[in-house]
Amino acid sequence: MLQFIPENNTYVYFRYTDNESVMIIFNNNDTESRTIDCKRFNEILKSYISGTDIISGKLYNLDKINIDKKSALILELKK
């Protein structure tokens, strides 16, 4: 597990093994959605090109990710 210090009411952490990785994002902001700049997480994301929302199946580019207010996003990362 690798976690990052929360910023702007958002918290991001990663669960990973040698072969798989998942990115979890929480937006605890009551009034606004947030755009997450993924450059901050390059330590782990440098090996990945995209992520798939495990619930909706939506594909996300790992450059900037938008997340709604008071919500969570779980992305299965793809090389």
Looking at every residue in the chain, the average pLDDT score rounds to 95
What would you report as the CA-atom Rg of the chain, rounded to the nearest whole angstrom? Answer: 12
What's the pTM value of the predicted model, to 2 decimals?
0.93
CATH at 71: 2.60.40.1180
pLDDT in tens, 64-73: 999 999 999 9
Total of domains in the chain: 1
The DSSP annotation for 10-22 comes to EEEEEEE-SS-EE
Domain hosting 45: range is 2-78
Burial of 56 (0-12, 13-18, 19+ CB in 10 A): exposed
